Amino acid sequence: MEFKVRVPSKVRELTEEICAFPNADGGYLFIGVNDNVQIAGVSLENHKRSAVQDSINEISPALHCELYPISIENKTVWVIDVPSGKDKSYIFSDYIYVPTAKHYLNSLVKSRLIEFKGTQKTGGYHILIK
């Protein structure tokens, strides 16, 4: 289990934490609960829920998480139910957050440590340093 009082301003921080769950038996991320397990409650407007779901959809291979509200102590807590990846023989290092990976690859290209050769369908990155 993981607890967040609110969705961080950079939603990808939330998604990067979700990537760790499939390595174990899955898990739950609660939004609206602090680290001391005190219920704060949170309201997620449609645009924020969409941002969270879009960010989760960037995980590769795909994780089919459920995002839903529950009521605790008359406060709304949002739950992200993350499945286990063990049945698919995945390990943590197999999960990547695609925008983060693209960012790091672009940094390596700019640093002239790697280059991309070929087309988008058949090409790949090649190491330039020995």
CB 20 within 8 A of CB 80: no
What are 3's strand-pairing partners?
Answer: 30
pLDDT tens, residue by residue, 58-107: 887 788 899 999 998 899 999 999 988 765 544 444 555 566 667 777 77
Would you state the pLDDT for residue 100?
A: 66
Residue 125 pLDDT more than 80? no
91: its two tokens: 């390990």
pLDDT digits (tens, 9 = 90+) for 3-60: 999 998 888 888 888 887 887 778 899 999 988 888 999 999 999 999 999 988 888 7
Task: Tell me which amino acid residue 6 is.
Answer: R
What is the pLDDT confidence band of residue 119, given thresholds at 50, 70 and 90? confident
pTM above 0.75, yes or no: no
How far apart (Å, rounded) are the C-alpha atoms in residues 5 and 128? 44
